[in-house]
Amino acid sequence: MTTESISVLLVEDDEQDAYLVKRMLLQIQEVDVDVRHVTATADALDCISQECPDAVLLDLGLPDSQGFDTVLRIRASFPAVPVVVLTGLDDETVGIQAIECGAQDFVSKEVVTCQMLFRAIRFAIARHKQTTSFKTQAHTDALTRLSNRRAFDAALTRTLAGWKRTKHAFSVMFLDIDNFKKVNDVYGHRAGDFVLTSLSEAITESLRESAFAARYGGEEFAVIFPDTHLYYAATAADRLLQDVRNMHIRFGDKHLQITASAGIAAMTWKDDAASLCDRADQALYAAKDAGRDQAYVHDGTHCQSVTSVTLTSAMK
């Protein structure tokens, strides 16, 4: 029988405490524990990025990060990795505060045993998987399996926060299926659902992996292009519409073809999340008014077809 294994990153700068904890972990009989030990938060972040352990055992007093800030830094950078806090005192208040900061559990080094440590790690991993599953369901569109409006809003907030720090360009696109109501009226809502799922697959295949795509609502989709100037987002949108135009959707004995319209806007210093989305939406309506099956951009002052956007003008 193959023995289950768990990888644990121990972040502890006290040599004696680290020795005792490692010895307890290696005494666990139920699973094989692979222990990696570092003494500072910076080393922990580097190790997690390279090895992605199943759990982190974290002391709150480290040379380069003190208290709950350590928990917050690890959780912000690696939300997929559960954290169990090691406290120096048998103080539930400290432990509860650690959990409020994102830790899954806590144990006191003064009273910890081998089995207590094992249960804390095992339960932390299980709880974290369950929580992640719930979050995924809450942020996923049930029909298309793309992210939903809630997830898009959260992703846009994160991207905007990153832009404020780095000023790296990013763009947003809204895409809407042309005359979608006719699909439902003529072929039925099941056919309409099939068209939506087919388009979702086309969006995923056409765009680069870093793009964040979501079903915004109904037949409308939204995409965030990180680190992307308006010209490159417009080029990607034009290519996607060509892919949509060339789709041959077979539903039962019917062959359906669709087109879509798109509106794109790039972040500027004048924008917030709402105004950026409003400009992309204005560009989408401009594309619809111009005859559909095309993409328009809002360059900050007015809407224009992507065919008239040049690299020089878009990057001013």
Query: Residue 300 CB: number of other CB atoms within 10 A?
Result: 13
**Alpha carbon 166 to its chain's center:** 19
What are the residues whose beta carbons fall under 8 Å from the beta carbon of 192, sequence distance 6 or more?
Answer: 180, 183, 184
**pTM exceeds 0.85 for this model:** no
The C-alpha atoms of residue 68 and residue 85 are separated, in whole angstroms, by 10
Taking the chain (316 residues) in consecutive chunks of 10 residues, what is each chunk's mean pLDDT? 80 93 90 93 91 92 84 82 84 82 88 90 86 72 92 91 88 97 94 96 91 95 95 95 95 93 96 97 97 96 87 54
pLDDT of residue 218: 94
Spans of all domains in the chain: 5-134, 149-314
pLDDT of residue 1: 46
pLDDT of residue 149: 95
Nearest to 269 by CA among 308, 231, 316, 210: 316
pLDDT of residue 234: 96
Q: Which fold has domain 149-314?
A: Alpha-Beta Plaits (3.30.70)
pLDDT of residue 6: 92
The C-alpha atoms of residue 302 and residue 316 are separated, in whole angstroms, by 15
Same fold, 5-134 and 149-314: no
Catalytic residue flag (residue 110)? no
Superfamily for the 5-134 domain: Response regulator (3.40.50.2300)
pLDDT of residue 311: 55
**Among 15, 51, 205, 219, which one carries the catalytic annotation?**
219
